[in-house]
Structure 1
Amino acid sequence: MARNTVLVIGGGATGAGVARDLALRGVDVTLVDRGGLGSGASGTSHGLLHSGARYAEADAVGAEECIAENEIVRDIAGECIRDTGGLFVSLAEDDADYFERKYDACEEIGIPVERLDATTAQERVPGLADDVARAMEVPDGVVYPSRLVAANAADARDHGATIHPHAPVESITVADERVTGVRLGGNVDDTVEPDYVVNAAGAWAGSVGEMLGVGVEMQPTRGVMVSLDYEGLGPVLNRCRDPDDGDIVVPHESEAVVGTTSVRVDDPDDYEQERWEVEVSIEECAEMLPALADADPIREWWGVRPLYAPDEASRNARGISRGFFRLDHADDGVGNAASIVGGKLTTYRQMAAATADLVCEKLGVDAECETADRRLPGADDPRTLDRFVREFDGQGPTDEDVVAAE
């Protein structure tokens, strides 16, 4: 039987980030995913690098996390991101007081923000709706998640980690309040005996929790993204209103990704994909940028958000996560396991650092996090990044138009 110090289950941005963080601290780590890396929420997201402005008036802590990590990701990720900037656009029908609350909250939190009148906003974004009343500029951007996940995995591998895509967890053995074995199928087909297990399985974290014999209550929601043929859009566009269906437009080089919806699902592997979600996403986003209504659809996909049920139950705000949650399962009778749930793609590195801190504390490893100050491998070379994506079978639909197939 193989033996690994730490087994990380889930190869999305957070899991790959945990593997990288631990490997840089000198920990022996294995990362597994049941599919290619990033095949869950990371690779099916809308690819927005949040400034925090979306959450500013409703969740100051979450917004502070976003702007801090936004700046770090810009420093370390290179061609894994696109620095577009973003606009929050308020139409004539939208609540002016809501706009002011968001603007004031951004200033208080420290999110760089600038007011734009309608004329200036329309000059900034040709084709913007005639009934724009006001706008604010914030440092949103675009993430290419396939590249980001693969670069994190490559750095982990370069520092001694073992990476196994297509290695589903089939069972977990717990004895005397410790994980003693994890059966891996697929490309591994072996049982490993980790000293510690990190559950970073996103929307599937509840299923891994069941194997561990602990409760990890997830409330996943599905959302659609539609990529339209639209060249020349500069910044990310956000509708400046209470979060609702169809209020984000994310620019790619020759496409615009519109979305999204938020519908609860019981099973992240088996859920409806309704046409109304596609239609409403296009219609609502076209209120900001009317030409989108007639743009040719290129592809559409659904993603499932890994929302933590206790957090969702505590509030009513649609689609606004307060942040991430690190669950130490020693509190549940399994002393060598933890789960990391919730959060956002933008804050993946912070989530990974918090998890790695806990693991190192448990294992007696005295090493500090280095991920905020170390540039990702291949960050300046798209061809190298895309080679990493192919190596880890990490291509997702979000950045399919950007990442080179060969």
Structure 2
Amino acid sequence: MHTTVLVVGGGATGVGVARDLALRGVDTTLVERGALAAGTTGRSHGVLHSGARYAEADPDDAAACLAENRVLRDIAPDCIDETGGYFLQLDGDDPSYFERKREACDSLGMAVETLSGDALRDRVPEANPRVERALAVPDGVVSPASLVLATAAAAREAGAELYTHSPVEDVHVADGVVTGATVGGRLDARIEADVVVNATGPWAERCAALAGVDVPMAPTRGVMVAVDNPGVDAVLNRCRPPDDGDIVVPRDGTAVLGTTSVAVDDPDDFERTEHEIERTVAECAAMCPGVDAEVRDTYWGVRPLYAPDEAARDDARKISRGFALLDHAADGAAGLVTVVGGKLTTYRRMAEATADRVCERLGVDAECRTAKRALPASDDPAVADLRATLGVDAPAN
């Protein structure tokens, strides 16, 4: 079979690329080795970031989060719970970090509000009495499953073909140019393609290697712990440099606590430790004692961190959470494009940048339309059909 663009990966970024290209009139096929959202996307904490988490350390990435936060509220309201969020300073936390955070958010044009500890507890009674003050920010909660299904349904409606349980077994290169891929599983076909987009998240290094290309990744695992929700209805963040157990996310009657960051060699096969679960619960309970409750579920995600700098691998939390777009023409695989890194909040922007690069290669003169075009609602028959036929694997829901 033949397609103009083959997208590999059925997470948020992959389906986002397929939708964007299809809306530009590009013949697009997407393949995914499992069900939709079966990788990093379906195992995230589901925070719709305002950018506050990254404001003082990476203002460019924070600005991108803030912009996409606003876009997704417009185009995908059915996938989002507008909870709001708070950054909590506990006694013993560095007050100067709080000030830097607030100033950085202000500089981005973010709507923020400083609350005393008592004012925060008026809004979130479950917050620890040790909270001295808080910064209110426009965080929210997004359903990874709903967002991926809605985006995939929009991609199919625009003309993209989608195949799950169809792993890529080889990427073909002839005379320095990608010519397609061999796909197994349900599809079981050789696909000829002018461009192949590698949107496989923490598996990007493996996918690129099929074409003889090196994409240095430094994936890290993180645990999410779902407990009985003591009544928290907003996203709670610890106002300190990112560390284990610094976020509480209300989801479907539970509070999801996260997370850890431990390097893994294999994103398919890694250790899951009880210690990380216990540490995550204990640290989150410092913000909200009521979350030290019955554990309903745990799930582990793997972050797709791109680390071309070998030295950065020694401290994964210092690796940028922004995304990288790699064109492999200079690597002897023209027509192969890899998109790595990023986060769920910025998936649409990542897809737009990728589609821009692909269209430039193809000579397609068409603008991105995904920022203005609404996604289908969760009760749309097309979304229900995709859930039934392609499947979704997202414990984050």
TM-score above 0.5, yes or no: yes
Q: Deviations over 1:6-26 (max 9, x none)?
A: 000011000000000000000
Match of 1:168 in 2: 167
SS at match of 1:120: helix
- Aligned residue among 276, 295, 300 for 1:302: 300
SS at match of 2:371: coil
Q: How does 1:54-133 map to 2 (within 5 A)?
A: 54-133=53-132
Match of 1:188 in 2: 187
Match of 2:22 in 1: 23
Per-residue deviation, 1:312: 7.6
Q: How does 1:2-401 map to 2 (within 5 A)?
A: 2-230=1-229, 232-293=231-292, 295-310=293-308, 313-314=311-312, 316=315, 318=317, 321-378=320-377, 381=379, 385=383, 387-399=385-397
Native 8 Å contact 1:147 1:386 kept in 2: no
Whole-Å separation in 2 of the counterparts to 1:371 and 1:113 = 28
Match of 1:403 in 2: none
Per-residue deviation, 1:230: 1.0
AA partner of residue 169 (structure 1): V
Change (3 A) 1:218 1:146: same
Whole-Å separation in 2 of the counterparts to 1:203 and 1:322 = 13
Whole-Å separation in 1 of the counterparts to 2:310 and 2:343 = 14
Whole-Å separation in 2 of the counterparts to 1:251 and 1:67 = 20
Unpaired runs of 5+ residues, structure 2, are none
Whole-Å separation in 2 of the counterparts to 1:200 and 1:391 = 22
Per-residue deviation, 1:340: 0.3
Per-residue deviation, 1:386: 5.1
Whole-Å separation in 2 of the counterparts to 1:346 and 1:101 = 23
AA partner of residue 18 (structure 2): A
Q: Deviations over 1:18-51 (max 9, x none)?
A: 0000000000000111000110000011111100
Native 8 Å contact 1:225 1:259 kept in 2: yes
Q: Deviations over 1:132-160 (max 9, x none)?
A: 11101000011100111111111110111
Q: Deviations over 1:50-84 (max 9, x none)?
A: 00000001000010000000000111112211110
Native 8 Å contact 1:147 1:388 kept in 2: no
Native 8 Å contact 2:126 2:230 kept in 1: no
Whole-Å separation in 2 of the counterparts to 1:320 and 1:257 = 24
Whole-Å separation in 2 of the counterparts to 1:343 and 1:312 = 19
SS at match of 2:193: coil
Whole-Å separation in 2 of the counterparts to 1:258 and 1:181 = 41
Whole-Å separation in 1 of the counterparts to 2:60 and 2:316 = 15
Per-residue deviation, 1:127: 1.5
Q: Greater CA deviation, 302-311 or 219-228? A: 302-311
Whole-Å separation in 2 of the counterparts to 1:297 and 1:382 = 33
TM-score normalised to structure 1 length: 0.95
> Alpha carbon RMSD of aligned pairs, Å?
1.5
Change (3 A) 1:252 1:308: same
AA partner of residue 243 (structure 1): P
Q: Deviations over 1:169-228 (max 9, x none)?
A: 011221111122311001100100001100000000000110011111110000000111
Whole-Å separation in 2 of the counterparts to 1:382 and 1:189 = 30
Native 8 Å contact 1:84 1:236 kept in 2: yes
Per-residue deviation, 1:248: 0.4
SS at match of 1:308: coil
Whole-Å separation in 2 of the counterparts to 1:358 and 1:42 = 23
Whole-Å separation in 2 of the counterparts to 1:264 and 1:317 = 7
Per-residue deviation, 1:391: 3.4
SS at match of 2:120: helix
Per-residue deviation, 1:321: 2.6
Whole-Å separation in 2 of the counterparts to 1:253 and 1:170 = 38
Per-residue deviation, 1:313: 3.9
Change (3 A) 1:277 1:255: same
Per-residue deviation, 1:394: 1.1
Q: Deviations over 1:97-150 (max 9, x none)?
A: 000000000001112111011111001101110111110100001110011111
Whole-Å separation in 2 of the counterparts to 1:382 and 1:265 = 39
AA partner of residue 363 (structure 2): G
Per-residue deviation, 1:332: 1.1
AA partner of residue 160 (structure 2): A
Native 8 Å contact 1:231 1:254 kept in 2: no
Native 8 Å contact 2:34 2:165 kept in 1: yes
Change (3 A) 1:35 1:362: same
